[in-house]
């Protein structure tokens, strides 16, 4: 038996069930919220809203969500823990740092940033912070991280992005906890993940989800990444601003047709509340919600040649295998 940590404690990976590999409960900017709290409003009302939404996800057949909300996205585990106690769905939480450019200021004069001044190699405190979140739990809650997370977007491999990426790779090698990386397939940043994390740091690509792979329709590029051994995160269904429902779904169908259902996971990158988006804009994203895949994507692809078995592979078997490890 293999176990994975959730916000309610360890669960058998055989019990993960139908799993959405990239959904947030909340995405927040804590220092803005602390100083301008009227946007967030009443804490109890937000928690109650999250409980209702997550119960509805469970009713749709989903049994687990992986919430890759880390430093830079407003992670606050006491709130997630309280919500997890009131819902049936499993919530797997993550550790890591989310940035497209610099490491957070907290790290600017710590660890390797001091190498030159001190004339010696200083280990990165990020690595210990991530490992502690995985082995001892997060901020005294007892909740342990089940996933590592970093990001590389269109700015590419900045020094801050590279620093976080290497720290995540080292924490993975120390713990075996798998990794999800926010990538930007339009500029093929998955290839930089391969160079830094796999070729140089030694991470097995099968332990990495290349998140947001479904943001491109370039199936040849996706095939190249899958052939390198990565899991592809087709994990932004419903965010149809720069693309369309059909473009995302047809890309999934084509990758299944090419034989990659055993290397894809499905999700929506949705949340109960994200303070990055003007609430008025949400009206233009009606499909960006937790049940869009079950309600709309699955029926669409089933009608166009994808089998129920292949759906189950992507929603059940690949997540379980990913957390089981080698
Ligand atoms: Zn996300």
Task: Give just the sign of the alpha carbon dihedral 237, 242, 245, 247.
Answer: negative
**From the CA of 253, how far away is ligand 1's center (Å)?**
23
Look at residue 148 in the predicted model and tell me its pLDDT. 98
Query: How much distance in Å is there from the Cα of 174 to the middle of ligand 1?
Result: 24
pTM over 0.95: yes
Centre of ligand 1 from the C-alpha of residue 97, in Å? 12
- pLDDT of 196 reads 98
Please give the distance, rounded to the nearest whole angstrom, from the Cα atom of residue 160 to the centre of ligand 1: 19
DSSP letter string, 253-300: HHHHHTT-GGGEEE-----SEETTS-TTGGGG-TT-STTHIIIIIHHH
pLDDT for residue 122: 93
Write down the mean pLDDT value for the chain: 97
pLDDT tens column, 214-240: 999 999 999 999 999 999 999 999 999
Residue 97 is classified by DSSP as: B
How far is the C-alpha of 35 from the C-alpha of 29, rounded, in Å?
10
In sign, the C-alpha dihedral spanning 183, 189, 194, 200 is negative
The Å distance, Cα 74 to ligand 1 centre, comes to 12
Write out the two tokens for 324: 């089981």
Distance 36 CA to ligand 1 centre (A): 23
Residue 50 DSSP class: H
Residue numbers in the chain where pLDDT is lower than 70:
none
Ligand 1 center–CA 121 separation, angstroms = 33
Q: Is 114 helix (H, G, I), strand (E, B) or coil?
A: helix
Q: Convert 138-165 to b/e letters by CB count within 10 Å (16 or more is b).
A: beeeebbbbbbbbbbbeeeebebbbbbb
**Predicted local distance difference test score (pLDDT) of residue 326:** 83
User: How much is the pLDDT for 279?
Assistant: 87
**What distance in angstroms lies between residue 100's CA and the mean position of ligand 1's atoms?**
13
Task: Compute, in angstroms, the gap from residue 24 CA to the centroid of ligand 1.
Answer: 6
Ligand 1 center to 213 CA (angstroms): 12
**Residues 50, 272 contacting (CB under 8 angstroms):** yes
The total of other beta-carbon atoms located within 10 Å of residue 4's CB is 25
Q: How many Å apart are CA 146 and CA 125, to the nearest integer?
A: 19
Residue 242: predicted pLDDT: 87
């Amino acid at each position: 038996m293999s176990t994975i940590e959730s916000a309610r404690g360890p669960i058998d990976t055989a019990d993960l069930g139908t799993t959405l590999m990239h959904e947030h409960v909340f995405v927040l900017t804590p220092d803005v919220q602390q100083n301008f709290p009227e946007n967030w409003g009443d804490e109890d009302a937000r928690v109650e809203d999250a409980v209702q939404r997550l119960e509805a996800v469970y009713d749709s057949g989903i049994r687990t969500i992986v919430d890759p909300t880390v430093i830079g996205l407003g992670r606050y585990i006491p709130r997630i823990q309280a919500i997890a106690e009131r819902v049936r769905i499993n919530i797997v939480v993550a550790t890591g740092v989310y940035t497209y450019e610099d490491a957070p200021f907290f790290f600017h004069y710590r660890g390797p940033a001091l190498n030159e001044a001190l004339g010696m190699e200083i280990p990165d405190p990020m690595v210990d912070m991530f490992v502690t979140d995985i082995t001892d739990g997060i901020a005294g809650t007892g909740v342990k991280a089940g996933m590592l997370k970093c990001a590389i977007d269109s700015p590419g491999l900045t020094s801050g992005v590279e620093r976080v990426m290497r720290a995540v790779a080292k924490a993975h090698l120390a713990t075996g906890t798998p990794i999800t990386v926010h990538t930007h397939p339009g500029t093929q940043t998955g290839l930089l993940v391969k160079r830094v994390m796999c070729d140089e740091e030694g991470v097995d690509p099968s332990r990495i989800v290349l998140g947001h792979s479904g943001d491109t329709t370039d199936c040849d590029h996706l095939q190249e990444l899958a052939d390198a051994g990565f899991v592809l995160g087709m994990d932004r269904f419903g965010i149809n601003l720069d693309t369309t429902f059909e473009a995302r779904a047809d890309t999934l169908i084509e990758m299944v047709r090419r034989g990659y259902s055993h290397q894809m996971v499905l999700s929506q990158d949705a949340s109960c509340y994200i303070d990055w988006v003007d609430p008025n804009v949400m009206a233009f994203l009606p499909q960006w919600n937790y049940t869009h895949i079950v309600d709309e994507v699955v029926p669409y692809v089933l009608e166009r040649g994808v089998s129920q078995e292949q759906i189950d592979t992507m929603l059940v078997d690949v997540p379980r295998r990913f957390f089981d490890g080698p």
